Structure 1
Amino acid sequence: MTRIEGQQISDTAGPSMPGPYKIVGATSLGIFLGALDSSIVNVSLVTMAGSLGATMTEIQWVVLSYLLIITSFMPLMGKLGDRYGNTRVFQAGMLVFITGSLLCALSPGLIVLVSSRVFQALGASMMTANGLALVTYFTTPHNRGRAIGLNSIVLAAALGFGPVIGGILSQYFGWQSIFLINLPIGLLGFIVVQKTVPETELVKETTFDTIGAMLFFTFLFALIYFVSVVTTTDLAVSMVWVSIIAISFVAFVIREKRFSVPIVPAGLLADRRISSSIFSALLAYMAIVPLSFLFPFFLQEELGLTQSVTGLVLTAHPIVISVVGPFAGFMSERVRAKYQTVLGLVAQLVGLLFIGLSVPNIPLIIIGIAIMGFGLSTFSVANGNFIMTSAPREYMGVISALTNIARTTGFSVGTAMVTTVFQVYRTTAPYTQSFQWTIWTFCFLALLAGIISAFRGLSPAEKESPILNES
């Protein structure tokens, strides 16, 4: 049993449990699409810019707007799922996402396209925030790790193969096709969820913290926007953004402590197990940004590889994650989370070091990428299982949202950080050496995440298990 703020919640699965594999299968299409559209447009930006008459600075908002909205709105959508039903909100998100995708494909100009991406991201945030909550709700501590492992495979496949799929569709069918492909897949996913996934129990609350939601949105929006433009912003404007970030965060914390039904209950983040797990996930996803963002530029600009070959090199990462995911889920049900997460982060650290030392040997670099894939899969599955097992059932939507926020915020902050670090090194060193130094700098993030994971404590399932509770 799990306690928080005087409430006691059962760790058994919810009523009418369809089974972990059926739940993951039913929700996978929505989760896949939400994550896919955060990466599928990257290789099509040049084509979009030419078609819409936009500069590269302007066309970046096609990516940035999606990332900002999906990250900022996930806590609100998770809370709505807890209050009105995770299944209901998940399905509504699929319909919003499909509609947004159609609007994106029909956009005649950049402003309409960016606005459509905002609408699309609202739907994605509804799916992403409640997808993991549904997987957790309809599983038990005995099979939850495997279910979350399969869920991580879906996310890895979407993020890893997005650029490859986007490149093929854009090259042969036009950039509009990367949005139109969402329509049949999304409709199929909606029907499958409708027929397969029951509704979750509702949290009976009479009030909703609208002000708290607005403050949290302001904080996340300002933070992600600032780190995205910090290298091109003067000091005065930077101070304004820093002030907005600080004021909105402090105001949000004060509001949540005083409000009777907060967006993020204080007891959740005060729980060292949950807060340390979320923060270590944030650092872990920041640490892989050199691979997902900087590495493609290095392969094409410095080593002269084509886009297709670059995509093939990078697919080593999602392929390994997909292979390791089920095994990592199986182990997370039998091994203490701190051991498995530390192992994964050590592997991620070794992979980064290996890539830095192997440049420019492509076969050795691929080995380093594979090691990083093993590390991320091993860490993320165990970490996700630990967080969701430690969370009270009535807050699973919120915790699911916070877990995904750690991932998207890690990518956002990491992207801004890797660009800044590389540019600093580039002023005094050649391209290849600057790339190596940047890789090694990010090793410290994986190291810090590992240290935090080592002191996370035990989840309720680990305390009750005669195997996991062994010293």
Structure 2
Amino acid sequence: MTSTAPALRTGTAAGRGTLLAAILASGMVFLDSTVVNVALPRLGAELGATVAGLQWTVNGYLLMLAAFVLLGGALGDRFGRRRVFLIGVVWFAAASLLCGLAQGTGTLIAARFLQGAGGALLTPGSLSVLQASFHPDDRGRAIGTWAGLSGVSTALGPLLGGWLIDTLSWRWIFFINLPLAVAVVLAGMRWVPESRDENVARTGAGRRRFDVAGALLGALALGGVTYALIDAPARGLSSPSVLVAALVGVAAVVLFVLVERRRGETAMLPVGLFSSRLFSVLNIFTVVVYAALGGFTFFLAVYLQNVVGWSALRTGLATVPMTVLLAAGSSRAGALAARIGPRLPLTVGPIIAALGLLLLRRVGPGASYWVDVLPGVVLFGAGLTLVVAPLTASVLAAVADRFAGVASGFNNAASRAGGLLAVAALPLLVGLSGTGYEQRAALTGAFRGAMLWCAGLLLTGAALAGLLIHRPAREAPPAQPCPSLPVATPPEERRPRGA
């Protein structure tokens, strides 16, 4: 890859401005993703939402992001990373405005779908502009600063979001994106240099990389399965609409594999990557572990408010220790895995996290934060900390260097798909539907059942790691700390691309 962008230095005004734009944009996405779960009880009560409505509020965003983030990276390579990045920022902000103005569940869900599409343009661009713009000597420092400050924004997200929800309204968790987006656009237009893949620009080879069919089939597969899982509690597993959605989803999976196999290395996801058993196992591990994370964050926020009786702000505070552990410990866990290999951290980490979820099952009305909630949250966060960096580094090391971007992008999509499927399936598995989330007895039983399922997923991940994961044949560069982890997303490493 070559670039027309100048080599920025971190000490210059342009370097600081470019870094500011990337950090604010990432913070906008991380903030929104972190606080939406905290807002679910309030927006559900105000809009009269059912459990299915709450599920789609979360999953509409995740579905679009998981399906199109690879395509978003490829568009940036082809048409200009700054251009696509700024389009994504404006798109995300406009969709956020629609979310905040929504007067019904249907409108909010539609706006969340649009927000996810904007995020698919914005998310890969926030890091790719740093990778493409900074001088090699300053690139590591710039990306490290981006990771650290984005981690701070993630940690502050639940606090700010909880305060906004309690003081103003749940709508302000979306409105807050508007001034941030204005700042990003101004900084981007003033300081961020344009860059693209010059080989694509000269030869037009990028046209082969726009695997729109693959992206649409991926979205249809996830969408069909998700719809079937969310609709099943209300309509029944034998309902025609549920069966048709499930069949469409399965058929789309088959067609996706056939299309990607036919396109070979020009596919959005070259199927040859899965000839590496390690790459395949690591991505199954990712889906399983991030499904547990997605289910945990979805249920905990609703449970703490509707059963334990906490405010939105106090609920947001409850998960801060998990974020702090992730921000402080991920780099150390990555260094440990580089010395001893990934198997032990990826085996022990999920076991510790599962113990944390089992402790949280005993939380009930009038629970003490320090005695009942904090120990479980700390154990869950400590276990997840052992997983993040070793998983990222192992995924990158499992494939050839030229596939690093698409491997990282697919792993990112796998993590989002895990959370998406968990939020869709768990209410069905624990018997929660309709307005059951507003009823203490129904929600208590569902929460305890969901924590048991999530702990089981984590233990499944531990078994996969212990039996099938080994030290990669070649070492990957140290992984950056993952500021987006509390919202069920691994780091956006090495410019996810559309292959």
Answering whether residue 429 of structure 2 is matched by residue 421 of structure 1, we say yes
Contact 2:161 / 2:316 at 8 angstroms: preserved in 1?
Answer: no
The offset of 1:136, in angstroms, is 7.1
C-alpha distance in structure 2 between counterparts of 1:116 and 1:433, whole Å? 31
Deviation at 1:135, TM superposition (A): 6.8
Alignment of 1:64-75 (within 5 A): 64-75=59-70
Helix, strand or coil: the match of 2:310? coil
State the distance in 2 between where 1:464 and 1:48 align.
43
Q: CA contact under 8 A between 1:264 and 1:398: conserved in structure 2?
A: yes
2:353 maps to what in 1?
348
Equivalent runs, 1:13-412 vs 2, <5 Å: 16=7, 27-45=22-40, 48=43, 54-56=48-50, 60=54, 61-84=56-79, 86-106=81-101, 112-131=107-126, 151=147, 154=150, 158=154, 162-192=157-187, 195=191, 199=195, 201=197, 204=200, 205=205, 206-207=207-208, 208-234=210-236, 235-237=238-240, 238-260=242-264, 261-356=266-361, 362-364=369-371, 365-392=373-400, 395-412=403-420
Structure 1: how far apart are the matches of 2:464 and 2:142?
24
Shift of the 24–115 alpha-carbon distance from structure 1 to 2, 3 Å rule, reads same
> Which amino acid in the other structure matches residue 118 of structure 2?
G
Taking the aligned partners of 2:284 and 2:405, their CA distance within structure 1 comes to 18
Are the aligned partners of 1:145 and 1:333 in contact in 2 as well (CA < 8 Å)?
A: no
Judging changes above 3 Å, is the alpha-carbon distance between structure 1 residues 170 and 297 closer, same or farther for their aligned structure 2 residues?
closer
Correspondence for 2:497: none
Q: CA deviation at 1:334?
A: 4.3
3-state SS in 2 of match to 1:38? helix
Whole-angstrom CA distance in 2 between matches of 1:303 and 1:49: 17
Q: Distance in 1 between matches of 2:58 and 2:363?
A: 31
- CA deviations 1:20-43 (Å, max 9, x no partner) are x98876533322322332343344
Per the TM alignment, residue 315 of structure 1 is displaced from its structure 2 partner at its CA by 2.3
Contact 2:69–2:123 under 8 Å retained in 1:
yes
- Say which is worse superposed, 31-40 or 160-169, in terms of deviation: 160-169
1:394 & 1:81 partners in 2: Cα distance? 18
Following the alignment from structure 1 to structure 2, what is the Cα–Cα distance between the partners of residues 25 and 390?
A: 33
State the distance in 2 between where 1:354 and 1:275 align: 32
Q: Normalising by structure 2, report the TM-score.
A: 0.75
Q: Matched residues in 1 for 2:127 and 2:370: separation?
A: 35
* 1:152–1:381 contact (8 Å) kept in structure 2: no
The change in CA–CA distance for 1:357 and 1:83 in structure 2 (over 3 A counts) is same
Conservation of the 8 A alpha-carbon contact between 2:100 and 2:172? yes
Give yes or no for contact 1:347–1:375 (8 Å, CA) kept in 2: yes
Which amino acid is the alignment partner of residue 257 of structure 1? R
**Which of 434, 442, 456 is the aligned partner of 2:454?**
442
Contact 2:96/2:115, CA 8 A, preserved across alignment:
yes
Aligned residue identity for 1:264: L
Distance in 2 (alpha carbons) for counterparts of 1:420 and 1:447: 21
Looking at structure 2, the residues matched to 281 and 149 of structure 1 have their Cα atoms a distance apart, in angstroms, of 26
Q: Quote the RMSD (CA, aligned, Å).
A: 4.1
Deviation at 1:73, TM superposition (A): 1.9
Q: What is the letter of the counterpart of residue 258 of structure 1?
A: R
How far apart are the structure 2 equivalents of 1:317 and 1:155?
12
Q: What is the aligned partner in structure 2 of residue 462 from structure 1?
A: 475
CA contact (8 A) 2:161 2:313 kept: no
Alpha-carbon distance in structure 2 between the residues aligned to 1:113 and 1:434: 25
Distance 1:294 1:286, change over 3 A: same
SS at structure 1 position matched to 2:431? helix
Q: Distance in 1 between matches of 2:62 and 2:256?
A: 21
The SS at the match of 1:40 is helix
What is the match of residue 469 of structure 1? none
2 CA distance for matches of 1:67 and 1:464? 28
Percent identity reads: 23
Structure 2 CA distance for aligned equivalents of residues 183 and 59 of structure 1: 25
Aligned residues: 449
SS in 2 for 1:259: helix
Q: Deviations over 1:183-204 (max 9, x none)?
A: 2222333455563577354563
SS of 1:462's equivalent in the other structure is coil
**CA offset digits 1:382-412 (Å, max 9, x no partner):** 2123323445555455334322222222222
The answer (yes or no) to whether the contact 1:18–1:197 under 8 Å persists in 2 is no
Q: Which runs of 5+ in 2 are unaligned?
A: 479-499
Distance 2:390 2:85 in 1: 24
> Unpaired segments of 5 or more residues in structure 1?
1-8, 466-471
Task: Single out whichever of 194-203 and 321-330 deviates more from structure 2.
Answer: 194-203
Distance 1:155 1:272 in 2: 32
Residues 200, 400 of structure 1: alpha-carbon distance in 2 compared, 3 angstrom cutoff? farther
Distance 1:183 1:463 in 2: 38
1:254 & 1:242 partners in 2: Cα distance?
19
Deviation at 1:283, TM superposition (A): 1.0
Partner Cα separation in structure 2 for residue 407 and residue 139 of structure 1: 31
Query: C-alpha separation between the residues in 2 aligned to 1:335 and 1:452?
Result: 18
CA distance in 2, matches of 1:322, 1:147: 14
